Each structure stands twice: as C-alpha cells, then as structure tokens.
Amino acid sequence: MSRNDRRSDRSQSRRHDSGRNERGGDRPQQRRADPRRLALGVLEEVDANDAYANLLLPARLADSGLEPRDRGFVTELVYGTLRWRALYDELISRAARRDASELDRRVRDILRLGAHQALHMRVPGHAAVNETVSLAKRTREAKAAGLINAVMRRLTERSLDEWVSVLQAELPADRYLSVRWSHPEWIVRALRKSLAADGRDGDLEALLAADNAAPAVNLVALPGVADRADIPGTTASPLSPFGAVLEHGDPLELCRRGVRVQDVGSQLAALALAAAPDGGDRPGASADDEGERWLDLCAGPGGKTALLAALAARHEPKAALRANEPVPHRADLVRRALEESGFGAVTVDQHDGATELGRVSGQWHRLLIDAPCTGLGALRRRPESRWRKQPTDLRDLTALQQRLLDAAVASARPGALIAYVTCSPHLAETRRQIDALLARQPGTLDVLDTAGILVEADAGLGPGAASGLGASDRPLVGSGAPGLQLWPHVHASDGMFVSVLRRR
C-alpha cells in the first residue's frame, strides 16, 4: 500500500470516528504518537544503528496518527536536531560542565531535542525546559531528570545570538565556524577551498547556513511525458526548463507518470549531456546508423536515468539509452523509475562500472558518469551524513572516480561526449579530478563550457518551455573550466559539479 493510500485510509477513518459502532459505543480512534518521543526514537535509530532519517522518519510518521501540524513539528525536531548537533553538543557541554560525549546517549539526545526547541524553534524557554524534563520521565530516564533540568535552565539563560557571541569570542576561527554552523572542521576547510577556486571567497558562512536550511522540494516534468505547467501548487524553476518548485505541501500527491521529485542540479546534469554539441556531425555517425548510443553508468536510484530516457526519446534521430547500476537494490530502483515514467524498455545492467565500459571500446556516443562521491553537496538533505563522513573516505572514492573516467574515455567513440558529475564540491573530486584526467590523456579531450551549453539549450526550447536561465537571478557562472559548480546558497540546488568533455 502506498503512502497516499495510507493517508486516504486514515482520512476516511477520522471522518467516521465521530460515528457509533454496532453496539452503540464510540468507535475507537487511532492512537496518536507522542511527537517528542517519536522524534527521540528516530534520533536514536540514526545515532545507534546508522539509519537514514529521510527513510525512517516518513515511515514512522505514516503510522503515527498525528495531524499535519504535529508531523511538521516532529520533522523539524528530527532534521533540525541532526543539522545543529555540533552546536548543541558544545552548548550542552558548557551547561553540563562536562563533555556531552560523557553523557548517556539517550540523555544526550533528549538534551539536543530540548536545545533545538529552545534555540531554533518558537518554544518559550520555560516550556522547553518542562517538556524536556517530561520527555525524560516518559522514556525511563527519570533518574536523569535533575541533570536535564539543570542543563536546560542554563541553556535557556542565553538566546542563540548571545551564545554565538560567546563562542565567537572564545573559539579559534575554524573551530568557531565548525561549531556555529555545525559542520566538522575538515568539511569547513574543504568548502572554503572549493569556494575560493570558484571565485566565491566570501561565501563560506552563507554556504554553511544553506546546508542547515530545509530545502524546497524540486520536481521534474519529463519532457514528452508531462508538462510542468500542469503540476498544481508549484512555480517554474528559475534554472531547469523541466523543473517545478514546491514550497509547501506533500510532493507525493503530485507525483504521477512523468512527474518525479528531483533536485534541480540533477536535472541540469542530464540536460548538459543531452544538449552538448558534438562539434558538427553526430559523433561516430554513419549513413546506416539508427541513432546514438547513450549510457548512464552509475544510474541508481534512477532519477537522472528517467530524465535521460525522456531526452533521448526526443533526440534526432532517436537515441538508445542503456543504464548500469552495480548495487542490486539500487538497480531495482532504476528499473522502477523507468517503468513508472514509461521507459521500461531501457535495459538496466548490474556490472562494475569500469568493467562495463571496458567490454567494448569505442562504443558510446554520450556517457553520464554520476560518480560515487562524498556527497558533501547534499548535506542539507541528509544532515546525519556530515557526522559519518571522514577525510580518509576520499582516497578510495577518488581512485574509483579516476578508474571510471579512464574507462569512459576508452569506451567513447571519436567525437563522443562525457558528462562527469559529482554531488560534491570537494576539489579532489571535481576540478582536480578533471585536471588529472587531462594530464593523463593529453590531446584526447576537449573541455566544453557546461554553463554555456545549458543556457543555449534553455533558449532553444522555445517560449513556455524555457526557464529564462540565461537571465536568472541565480546565473550559472563561476570561474569557468573545467566544469560548472552549483551551490545551495546561490542556486538553491545541491552542490553538484558537472563537467562535459568531448573526445577528439
């Protein structure tokens, strides 16, 4: 049963609860969950069992019996507490007069929830104290009620701005930014370097703040299948000609054949590959050739694949798309995305990416490599991920990215186009990766102007379809080659990097 079906069933149940049962008594209503206790349970699963909040929370809410307002309260509690964890742990340590890591895990999570209510939600200080102590008692932590009461009272003696002033005066610069904006220090330093390389030296705090803001929902209307003008309650994306932005409401109620939830950065990555010029004649074309062969190499979970399939179907002459995803459950998601969008005939393979490319050399006309990466560009969507990633992750990831790029070049036909994409702005995964590829393959590749491709493609779609991307208040400009870097604080997208290359 889908979430929409469950929502409909609950709605019908509420309408009939006011009636009487066969024996004349009141019909029992669905038991409603305790909002704060539900939020605590999700935090504990995320912390103890490496669960993902974006997967766990919707399932818990679906069975909670809570009204929409309470669901929103729980959602803000969970995501906000995860985002601001480092700030709250610093303040809890100061208020408890011992390191927060020394506290019992549940006590620490209860205090984090209380801190979020007091400092970032419109919950009065005294109410935040009382509710936090009450939650401790309801969750078998009554023995810690005195400690929790004392810590919460000290926390609420100052406003957030007052606490920030204290931290700024007492902490070294990078440590302050790490605590103030709740990012590990190594990520703060990496983002500073990435911004500087893109000509945005003064943007660091704006980016860190954007990572802690709940993003609007972006949807895509697959061209030739759906029309974004027919998606109710949305506004046209300022960047994607196929995109729509939903500020409020449930996106699942809008999803149907050809309409999917998809970040605008992913939409632009697919469009950049599809719209890139081949330098004249179609790459590798022959008189009896039926069309180009396209490959989405790292296709899971399938959003870009579905959009590429729609774009390939509109290509002249029509292109044939193939997808590859080595992880079985993600490959199933790709197949589902394609089937739901009307492209179930697209073949989805399950091979190691480099192995798949090495099977036949000189085969592909257009290749999308959405490479495995640190995901530092999606911290606003997956707030717990910042606490799980380590700088040591980069070694294996960049080695894999290099293998995929080298294999892509070997498998590409002369004149073929390769789009290298990461959901990360880290220089080791973006600019340096492309620079290293060009050094390894001298005279083999040309770097195309990705932003220019997108602006020209958008203008060529015609009135009513184009987004006005070239005149957007979020222009696709940066420091230029070797690719386009998107930023949450500038483009309201995930921090995606897109580099389009042409094989000579």
Query: Which residues carry out catalysis?
Result: 423
Query: Residue 235 contacts by C-beta under 8 Å, 6 or more apart in sequence?
Result: 244, 245, 247
Separation of alpha carbons 498 and 504, rounded Å: 19
Residue with tokens 């957030």: 160
| CB of 148 closer than 8 Å to CB of 133 | yes
Query: Along the 504 residues of the chain, how does pLDDT read in single tens digits?
Result: 443 343 334 333 333 343 344 444 444 455 789 999 999 999 999 999 999 999 999 999 999 999 999 999 999 999 999 999 999 999 999 999 999 999 999 999 999 999 999 999 999 999 999 999 999 999 988 999 999 999 999 999 999 999 999 999 999 999 999 999 999 999 999 999 999 999 999 999 999 999 999 999 999 999 999 999 989 999 999 999 999 999 888 888 889 999 999 999 999 999 999 999 986 554 444 444 568 999 999 999 999 999 999 999 998 888 999 999 999 999 999 999 999 999 999 999 999 988 877 777 788 999 999 999 999 999 999 999 999 999 999 999 999 999 999 999 999 999 999 999 999 999 999 999 999 999 999 999 999 999 999 999 875 554 444 455 555 555 665 555 699 999 999 999 999 999 999 999
What are the tokens at 319?
Answer: 């292109």
**Entry field: residues in the chain:** 504
Separation of alpha carbons 355 and 89, rounded Å: 45
Task: Give the HSE-up count for residue 186: Cα atoms under 13 Å, Cβ half-sphere.
Answer: 12
- 3-state SS assignment for residue 246: strand
Bridge-based pairing state of the strands 259-261 and 217-221: antiparallel
What are the tokens at 46?
Answer: 């995320």
